Structure 1
Amino acid sequence: MQRSRARKSDVYRVERLVAKRTRSNRVEYLVKWKNWSEA
Structure 2
Amino acid sequence: MINQRKVLNDEQYKILVGIFGVILAFSLSYSALALTQSIFKP
The TM-score with structure 2 as length reference comes to 0.19
Larger gyration radius, structure 1 or structure 2: 2
TM-score (norm 1): 0.19
- The structure in which a higher percent of residues are helix is 2
Relative contact order higher in (CA < 8 Å, ≥ 6 apart): 1
